[in-house]
Amino acid sequence: MVDDDILDSQDTSEGPQQRPQSLMLAFFGNHVLEEGDLCVYSGSIIEVLGRVGIGEQAVRSTLTRMVNRGLLRRQREGRKMFFGLTPQATRVLQDGRARVWQQGAVNDDWDGSWTLLGFSLPESWKRQRHDLRSRLSWSGFGALYSGLWIAPGHVDVAGVVSELGLADHVKIFHAQADQATDIELMIRDTWDLESIAARYVTFDKRWTAHLDAGAGEDPIGTRLRLVSEWLSTIRTDPRLPARHLPPEWPARPAQETFRRVAEHTARPAQLMAHDLLETTSLR
């Protein structure tokens, strides 16, 4: 499981300040996930993350922390230390890749179904409750009531519940809303639509300005910030059915901007990574 601080960012007046762990995962997602069993030299990682304002000491401590959490593995080659993905990190990144590149931010094909999850945990299980709520939020759930969470569509969340060791305390159902249910009202009561929309608007404005400025001198750093910020943005969005959202929902233009910048930086970032990154095969 990945704690919140790996994926979260903090918004400031100058834009979102991505946490080193989030940027580190974006780095491995951009340059290692598709390459198979590959390790990257720590000096290369320091070089790339330095381009987005992360200092050497922060990079080194983040690498150590992620090794301790089972997200990265070390591999020594002579006097150099290389880092590669563990199966756990690979699963996290594959999930993020699906959210970013396959599902998208706009849900136009909702089939009318909902996934309901009810749980009752002992009062003393504060950590387990926090972990479950965090994972449910990432999976698109919102709190319909305190112990009853709901998500649009058929969400396979049994693996998450099992991984947390809570199968005996959780019940999962798949259902459709009765005609008496006001779905728009339910959505407004369950999710903070204003906050979700504001993040899309902020993302769209910032990266549209980037496109207008024509800044492309550092494609590898730009793409790293882009993917990390977009993942942080869509992480707060449960992909609610588009037909039940307010008119002119800002997810669509924000997604179009993301894809334009992603397309613009893809090839240059790949070429720069080829020159910058020292790698070796994972043993």
pLDDT in tens, 32-49: 998 878 999 999 999 999
Q: Name the least confident of 7-21, 127-141, 257-271.
A: 7-21
∠ CA(208), CA(103), CA(183), 5° rounding? Answer: 95
Helices (H), 51-192: 56-68, 87-97, 126-138, 158-163, 183-190
pLDDT tier, 103 (very low <50, low <70, confident <90, very high otherwise): confident
Give how far Cα 134 sits from Cα of 129, 164, 166, 208, 210, Å: 9, 11, 14, 31, 32
Whether 40 contacts 32, CB under 8 Å: yes
Pull the structure tokens for residue 262: 């992603």
Q: Is the pLDDT of residue 1 over 70?
A: no
Q: Is the pLDDT of residue 12 over 70?
A: no
Determine the Cα–Cα distance for residues 239 and 26; give it in Å rounded to an integer: 21
The distance of Cα 261 from the centroid of its chain, to the nearest Å, equals: 18
pLDDT tier, 18 (very low <50, low <70, confident <90, very high otherwise): confident
Pull the structure tokens for residue 173: 């159902």
Q: Is the pLDDT of residue 11 over 50?
A: no
Nearest to 71 by CA among 52, 54, 91: 91
How crowded is the C-beta side of 140, counted as CA atoms within 13 Å?
A: 21
The pTM score is 0.84
pLDDT at 215: 58
Whether 105 contacts 48, CB under 8 Å: no
CB-CB neighbours of 174 under 10 Å: 11
Instruction: Give the type of residue at 183.
Output: I
Q: Stretch 153-180: mean pLDDT, rounded? A: 94
Average pLDDT, rounded, for the chain: 90
Given the structure tokens 């290692």, which residue do they identify?
32
Pull the structure tokens for residue 63: 């690498």
Per-residue pLDDT tens over the stretch 192-249: 999 999 999 999 999 999 888 775 679 999 999 999 999 989 988 999 999 999 989 9
Q: Is the pLDDT of residue 7 over 50?
A: no
Q: Is the pLDDT of residue 5 over 60?
A: no
Q: Is the pLDDT of residue 4 over 70?
A: no
pLDDT at 13: 37
Determine the Cα–Cα distance for residues 228 and 235; give it in Å rounded to an integer: 11
Q: Name the least confident of 100-104, 149-153, 259-263.
A: 100-104
Determine the Cα–Cα distance for residues 205 and 241; give it in Å rounded to an integer: 24
Judged by phi (left if over 0) then psi (alpha if -120 to 50, else beta), residue 219 lies in alpha
Q: Stretch 48-64: mean pLDDT, rounded? A: 95
Determine the Cα–Cα distance for residues 168 and 7; give it in Å rounded to an integer: 28
Q: Is the pLDDT of residue 65 over 80?
A: yes
pLDDT at 36: 76
Q: Stretch 154-162: mean pLDDT, rounded? A: 92
Whether 243 contacts 192, CB under 8 Å: no
The pLDDT > 90 percentage for the chain reads 76
**Higher pLDDT pick, 194 / 16:** 194
Say which residues have a Cβ less than 8 Å from residue 223's Cβ, sequence separation at least 6.
30, 261, 262, 265, 266, 269
Residue 154's φ and ψ, nearest 5 degrees, are -95, 100
Determine the Cα–Cα distance for residues 205 and 280; give it in Å rounded to an integer: 39
